[in-house]
Amino acid sequence: MKKRKIFIACDSSNLKIVKKIIANTKSNKLDIGYKFGLEFFYSKYGRNFISRLKDKKIFLDLKLNDIPNTCASAIYSLKDLKNISYVTVHINGGFEMLKAVKKASLKTKKNLKVLGVTVLTSFSNTSIKKIGHTKSIKKLIIKQAILAKKAKLDGIVCSGYEVKFLKRICKNMEIVTPGIRFKGDKANDQKRIISPKSAFDSGASAIVIGRSITNGNIKSNVQKLIKSFN
């Protein structure tokens, strides 16, 4: 049976904490990689530490969102990081920006996968209206997924709520699902959360899980994750 692809979110600027997360999340039953966002990447030792993780699968969650040339240049600036497998870009940056990022990724590293971020899992239909959107999250994400496919991105990032209907649009694309919580865990700042098993059952290619693993006893939480799939 194919191992489930899990990205552990290393959401801290503290190098000791990140090292502890990596040291305690090894498993031969899961395909584990590590997600690094802005908090760690921008920290004093972040970029250098990431560059030295030669035997790890790295998900660089930068969520690029700027004019096409700036985002393409940001991708080129990652050229020295040979071990990165994934990088993220906001789909709402527009079609030209998405094309520029994908083109730059191919020139930088041919197997670097670009994932388009749809509506963040911290948004609800109420909060998305507050920033001027008139469409529901579902309708907005469908348009975003179509745009990502047209721009030939490698995949999308969406909550578990949207995976099932986006599978039909994003054929042959990866669907990565954040906002993962064990049943009974606090939602914290997330609005659209889902359990690990439900995410995969819906059709997710991979999940990103942070606090449900990294809070408390990390090794025990990894075992809890494994058992949740049975």
- Distance between CA atoms of residues 218 and 119, nearest Å: 29
- Distance between CA atoms of residues 78 and 105, nearest Å: 9
| Chain centroid, CA 102 distance in Å | 16
Query: How many residues does the structure list for the chain?
Result: 230
CA-based nearest residue to 166, from 143, 194, 195, 134: 143
Q: Which residue has the tokens 């994932």?
A: 115
- Distance between CA atoms of residues 197 and 61, nearest Å: 23
Please check whether residue 125 is in contact with residue 137, taking contact to mean a CB–CB distance below 8 angstroms: yes
> Which residues are CB-neighbours of 130 under 8 A, at least 6 positions away?
none
- Distance between CA atoms of residues 171 and 182, nearest Å: 28
Catalytic residues: 63
- Distance between CA atoms of residues 119 and 45, nearest Å: 30
How many other CB atoms are found less than 10 A from the CB of residue 5? 19
